[in-house]
Structure 1
Amino acid sequence: MKGIIFTEFMELVEQQFGLEVLDEVLEMSGDEGIYTAVGSYDHKDLVKLIVNLSKKTNIDATTLQQVFGKTVFKTLLASIPPTASIGTSSTTFQFLRHVEDYIHVEVKKLYSDAHPPQFDFISETETEMIMDYQSARCMSNVCLGLIEGCAEHFGESVRVQMTPQMEDGSLVRFNLTVS
């Protein structure tokens, strides 16, 4: 997993809960907290940080993942070059298609060791999109937050229903409805 995800997570924890909580979560996790935005790290370290933040704050880990996804959307959006085709998106659905067709492709080109999640689009109308999220990292709640952040960015009201397709959470179907 790319380091930008780790650095953004730690920044969010510090902003929302304070440096003392971040230090305690890092200590609970046996983590020194030294990450660079372009480095690659084991996603299990992020999971451990989220679980320990949950223990420390008594906030459900899935909720923390969702909030993190929504928050990190703006940072990831800002990192996209202005000349990228994804910049022509004007709706949440268009943007999500571009994530799979552009961002995930570019990430793989830049970082041969990267394994971004895969979006498989099942069906789409003007108001409904059904897509599968597939990732060995099982972080569909981060994906949910990213979708919510995306919808907010485009000023759309999007209702999202998640249905696990695999028991381990590695495959989740998202049914998105614009209202």
Structure 2
Amino acid sequence: MKGIIFTEFMELVEEKFGLEVLDEVLEMSGDEGIYTAVGSYDHRDFVKLIVNLSKKTGIAPDTLQQVFGQSAFKALLASIPASASIGESTSTFQFIRHVEDYIHVEVKKLYADAQPPKFHFISETETEMVMDYQSARCMSNVCLGLIEGCATHFGEAIEVKMYPQTDDGSVVRFSLSIV
């Protein structure tokens, strides 16, 4: 998992809960909190941070992942070069398609060892999109938050339903409807 995920998470925790809580979560996790945005780290360390933040705050891990995804969308958007075709997206659905076609491709070019999630598009109309999210990291709630952050960015009201396709959560079907 890319370090930018860790650095964004720690910034969010510090902003929402304070430096003391961040330090306690890092200590509970046996983590020194030293990450570089371009480094690669074990996703299990991220899961540990989420679980321990949940223990500390009483907020469910799925909710914390979702809030993180909403926040991380802003950083994702800011990291996209102005010349990139994805920047021309005018809707949530267009942007999501570009994530698979542009962002995940660029990540693989920059980091040969990267394993970004995959989106498999099932169907799409002007008001509905159905896709499968596939990731060995099983972080569909981060994906949910990213979708919500994207919809907010485009000023769209979108209802999102999630349907696990595997017992381990590595494949989740997302059904998005503009409301």
The answer to whether TM tops 0.5 is yes
Residues in 2 aligned to 1:76 and 1:32: alpha-carbon distance in whole angstroms:
25
Match of 1:8 in 2: 8
Match of 2:168 in 1: 168
* 1:146 maps to 2:139: no
Match of 1:132 in 2: 132
Q: Once the 2 structures are TM-superposed, how far is the Cα of residue 114 of structure 1 from its aligned partner?
A: 0.1
User: When the two structures are aligned, how many residues end up with a matched partner?
Assistant: 179
Residues in 1 aligned to 2:61 and 2:94: alpha-carbon distance in whole angstroms:
29
Q: Once the 2 structures are TM-superposed, how far is the Cα of residue 119 of structure 1 from its aligned partner?
A: 0.2
Residues in 2 aligned to 1:111 and 1:29: alpha-carbon distance in whole angstroms:
27
1:135 maps to a residue whose letter is: S
2:8 maps to a residue whose letter is: E
Residues in 1 aligned to 2:127 and 2:64: alpha-carbon distance in whole angstroms:
28
5 Å matches for 1:81-96? Answer: 81-96=81-96
TM-score (norm 1): 1.00
Q: Once the 2 structures are TM-superposed, how far is the Cα of residue 177 of structure 1 from its aligned partner?
A: 0.1
Structure 1 vs Structure 2: percent identity of aligned residues? Answer: 80
1:34 maps to a residue whose letter is: I
2:66 maps to a residue whose letter is: Q
Residues in 2 aligned to 1:28 and 1:152: alpha-carbon distance in whole angstroms:
34
SS at match of 2:80: coil
Q: Once the 2 structures are TM-superposed, how far is the Cα of residue 2 of structure 1 from its aligned partner?
A: 0.5
* 1:76 maps to 2:68: no
Residues in 2 aligned to 1:41 and 1:140: alpha-carbon distance in whole angstroms:
19
Q: Once the 2 structures are TM-superposed, how far is the Cα of residue 69 of structure 1 from its aligned partner?
A: 0.1
| Structure 2 segments unaligned to the other structure (5+ residues) | none
Deviations 1:122-174 (A, max 9, x none): 00000000000000000000000000000000000000000000010000000
Residues in 2 aligned to 1:164 and 1:27: alpha-carbon distance in whole angstroms:
33
Residues in 2 aligned to 1:85 and 1:44: alpha-carbon distance in whole angstroms:
33
Match of 2:156 in 1: 156
TM-score (norm 2): 1.00
SS at match of 2:175: strand
CA RMSD of aligned residues (A): 0.3
Give the ranges of 4+ consecutive aligned residues of structure 1 lying more than 6 Å apart after TM superposition. none
Residues in 2 aligned to 1:15 and 1:79: alpha-carbon distance in whole angstroms:
20
| Structure 1 segments unaligned to the other structure (5+ residues) | none
Q: Once the 2 structures are TM-superposed, how far is the Cα of residue 62 of structure 1 from its aligned partner?
A: 0.2
